[in-house]
Amino acid sequence: MAAVFLSLPSAPNLPLTARVHAVPRGVFVARASARAPTITAMSEATDAETGGRGRRKMPHVLTVAGSDSGAGAGIQADIKACGALGVYCSSVITAVTAQNTVGVQGVHPVPEEFVAEQLRSVLSDMEVDVVKTGMLPSVGVVKVLCHSLKDFPVRALVVDPVMVSTSGDILSEPSTLAGYRNELFAMADIVTPNLKEASALLGGVSVRTVADMCSAAKSIHNLGPRYVLVKGGDFSDSSDAIDILFDGEECHELYGARIKTRNTHGTGCTLASCIAAELAKGTPMLQAVQAAKAFVETALNYSKDIVMGSGPQGPFDHLFRLKSQNYNVGQKLQFDANDLFLYAVTDSGMNKKWGRSITDAVKASIEGGATIIQLREKDAETRNFVEAAMACMEICRSHGVPLLINDRVDVALACDADGVHVGQSDMPARVVRRLLGPRKIIGVSCKTPAQAEQAWIDGADYIGCGGVFPTTTKENNLTVGLNGLKAVCLASKLPVVAIGGIGPGNARSVMEIGVPNLKGVAVVSALFDRESIVSEAQRLRSALMDASSRARLSV
Ligand SMILES: Nc1ncnc2c1ncn2[C@@H]1O[C@H](COP(=O)(O)OP(=O)(O)OP(=O)(O)O)[C@@H](O)[C@H]1O
Ligand SMILES: Cc1ncc(CO)c(N)n1
Ligand SMILES: [Mg+2]
């Protein structure tokens, strides 16, 4: 039983007022069959209460974990991480620890029956989407949790098999290992051991290299979870933070920058909570893991100089976005791939030829229907480019059209653009991601399936594929043709925009290659090397609309 389970959990409000312990189990077991009708009934009631404005469901993660008095890890990290990602987090506490930056001074497990009671309270009432587990101090608690999840299924289960703190203190009985291996893992969508935990789960095998991580991930996958993420935070002599994700078929090497800081207490709890939060929002697993990793890296970077406590491992600040303009202002919550529909790439040479300012070119392309703009200024002075980019940003924001900058991450940062587009010889997308943070849009030009796979691993949001047809805009540009475009689309999970020699006359033939992730066409000369940008954009738009309505009709 891998994915835990599609139906949204819910049950009627139970009379849970001021009781201490022991609620009869049978009451809760019986709820399962009443689940679907209950949701409808609750929606109607709440619609009436909100005066018809509709019911807003908040994504909800339940963390089942231990309390860390120092609040860097455990329940406290989980609540902060979910909160930072806009997700509600309820908490079932399995143990209370006395803990600080020096280590763990004491552990006080919560009685198993009371863990069960907390689980019933939350799961029976509060529409949990995803359960995330952290410190489960005994095999008894693992069993209690498995029972609860069978009674109250949720959409996904994230298991962080916490065993030992970084300070070396034991956080779960050795017998818990058997509970994980024999019961909980089979219900898990993802399990996230660190190097030592991966080794312990496999009877002490050595996990010291990336190849070891990959084979450990495969062996743990045999215990039942759908995905395994072996975390490499403990590879402290590497300049990268490398994690390995095994999806049942392939091992993906996920690279991030290793932040030089002592403030890494709770990275594992935070990572697993962010994965859970993203899954609760509906993000697919692979992207959820990437977003979580980017969050940890950005939080560590923001917090690297914080001084708290005298011990070797300090906490970091999960709520950095509330405090830092860099990580917050004007950011899109999620990239909308449909924005790639009519993608206008400005060209400084062409603007010069037609005597246009870059802002006039941008205004006209938006007026004609462009859905995203990229500024490609190969020969502008930096100061002029930044000024023009700021002016274009204002125009684009006021029309709700995203603006990307070609190649120049510094210019994108300076004008707070929505993102950057890079080619194969520009800065690697994963470095761009590190500089721009998790929420900006990153596009990568790719000609081959291998480049497309790398773009995804590096955390890109979309692929630009071409030149599809021969073009004069780029010298010595290899043409991939419609077949090359199709091969890249089929090989990638990312949305693709086609580029190179495309205009109103051939846009339809491009869109008709019939792959769902081809989202639009990007054009340079078809708009900017023409007398009227507005009317050329309109012609192109109607050719694209025509192609998409035909595609819909033929489905
Ligand atoms: N210094 C660092 N810079 C960047 N990323 C890091 C760093 N340390 C850890 N990470 C990342 O944090 C995530 C958690 O990995 P880690 O191996 O630290 O987990 P853990 O040992 O379970 O953490 P903890 O037990 O301290 O909560 C991984 O994605 C890892 O790559
Ligand atoms: C309560 C708790 N959970 C997890 C960890 C692992 O970081 C910790 N140190 N403390
Ligand atoms: Mg851990």
Annotate 395-431 with three-state secondary structure: HHHHHCCCEEEECCHHHHHHCCCCEEEECCCCCCHHH
Q: With a cut of 60, say whether residue 52 has pLDDT above it.
A: no
Ligand 3 mean position to 127 CA, how many Å?
A: 27
73 lines ligand 2 (CB under 6 A): yes
What whole-number percentage of the chain has pLDDT above 90? 72
Residues with CB under 6 A from ligand 1: 73, 166, 194, 231-234, 241, 243, 256, 258-259, 264-269, 271, 293, 296-297, 300
Q: Where are the beta strands (DSSP E) in 55-155?
A: 60-68, 88-99, 104-109, 130-133
Query: Is 107 near ligand 2, meaning CB less than 6 Å away?
Result: no
How many angstroms does the Cα of residue 293 sit away from the middle of ligand 2? 18
DSSP 370: -
Ligand 2 contacts CB of residue 438 (under 6 A): no
Looking at residue 422, what is its pLDDT?
97
Smallest CA separation from ligand 2 atom 10, residue? 74
The stretch 59-68 carries a mean pLDDT of 98
Q: Cβ distance 267 to 296 under 8 Å?
A: yes
Catalytic residue among 140, 232, 233, 268: 268
What pLDDT is stored for residue 44 in this prediction?
A: 39
pLDDT given for residue 504 in this prediction: 94
Output the pLDDT for position 45: 41
Please provide the average confidence, as pLDDT, over all residues in the chain.
Answer: 87
Give the span between the Cα atoms of 419 and 507, in whole angstroms.
Answer: 25
Residue tagged active-site, from 176, 192, 267, 270 = 267
How far apart CA 417 and CA 393 sit, in angstroms, is 7
Our answer on whether the CB atom of 314 is closer than 6 Å to any ligand 2 atom is: no
* Ligand 2 contact, 193 CB (< 6 A): no
Q: What is the pLDDT of residue 438?
A: 73
Of residues 49 and 30, more confidently modeled:
49
Contact, 220 vs 204, CB < 8 A? no
What's the pLDDT at 520? 97
pLDDT band at 325 (very low <50, low <70, confident <90, very high): low
Identify the pLDDT of residue 554: 57
* Probe residue for ligand 1, chosen from 267, 293, 433, 434 as the CB with the greatest number of ligand atoms within 8 Å: 267
Q: How far is the CA of 291 from the centre of ligand 1 (A)?
A: 14
Is the model's pLDDT at 34 over the cut of 60?
Answer: no
Confidence of residue 64 (pLDDT cuts 50, 70, 90): very high
74 catalytically annotated: no
Distance from residue 425's CA to the centre of ligand 3 (Å): 37
Query: Which band of pLDDT confidence, cut at 50, 70 and 90, is reported for residue 136?
Result: very high
Q: Kindly report which listed range (73-77, 377-381, 487-491) carries the lowest average pLDDT score.
A: 377-381
Which of 82, 251, 269, 274 does the annotation list as catalytic? 269
pLDDT at 176 over 70: yes
pLDDT at 457 (0 to 100): 82
Strands 342-345 and 518-523, by their bridges, are: parallel
Known catalytic residue: 437? Answer: no
Q: Has residue 22 got a pLDDT over 70? A: no
Q: What is the pLDDT of residue 334?
A: 64
Indicate whether residue 71 lines ligand 2 (CB < 6 A).
Answer: no
What ranges make up the beta strands (E) of 172-266? 190-191, 227-231, 240-246, 251-257
> pLDDT digits over 231-244, tens only?
999 887 788 899 99
User: What is the distance in A from the centroid of ligand 3 to the CA of 265?
Assistant: 9
* Distance of CA 60 from the midpoint of ligand 3 (Å): 22
Strands of the 156-159 sheet, one edge to the other: 104-109, 88-99, 60-68, 130-133, 156-159, 190-191, 227-231, 240-246, 251-257
| Whole-angstrom distance, CA of residue 464 vs CA of residue 446 | 6
CA dihedral 34, 39, 40, 44 (to 10 degrees): 130
Decide if pLDDT at 390 tops 80: yes
Instruction: Kindly state if the Cβ of 187 falls inside 6 Å of ligand 2.
Output: no
Examine the residue annotation and report whether 231 is marked as an active-site residue of this protein.
yes
Q: Which segment of 1-10, 98-107, 150-159 scores lowest on mean pLDDT?
A: 1-10
**Which one of 231, 293, 363, 447 is the catalytic residue?**
231
pLDDT of amino acid 20: 34
Lowest mean per-residue pLDDT among 52-56, 110-114, 200-204, 309-313 = 52-56
pLDDT tens-place string over residues 490-547: 999 899 999 999 999 999 999 999 899 999 999 999 999 999 999 999 999 999 998 8
Please identify, by atom number, the ligand 2 atom nearest to the C-alpha of residue 265: 7
Of 68, 164, 192, the residue with max ligand 2 atoms within 8 A of its CB, to mutate for a pocket test, comes to 68
Nearest CA to ligand 2 atom 2: 74
Distance 233 CA to ligand 1 centre (A): 4
* 54: confidence class by pLDDT, cuts 50, 70, 90: low
Q: Is residue 269 lining ligand 2, measured as CB closer than 6 Å?
A: yes
- Specify whether 269 is catalytic: yes
Query: Is 10 a residue whose pLDDT tops 70?
Result: no
Indicate if ligand 2 lies below 6 Å from the C-beta of 374: no
C-alpha 135 – ligand 2 centre gap (Å): 6
Residue nearest to atom 19 of ligand 1 (CA): 268
Query: Tens of pLDDT along 435-465?
Result: 887 778 999 999 999 999 899 888 899 999 9
Q: Is the pLDDT of residue 140 over 60?
A: yes
- Helices 358-367 and 382-399 sit at what angle, rounded to 10 degrees? 20
Q: Is the pLDDT of residue 95 over 90?
A: yes
For residue 139, what are the contacts with CB-CB under 8 A and spacing of at least 6? Answer: 173, 175, 176, 178, 179
Residue range 266-280: average pLDDT? 97
Task: Locate the ligand 1 atom nearest the alpha carbon of residue 292 and give its number.
Answer: 29
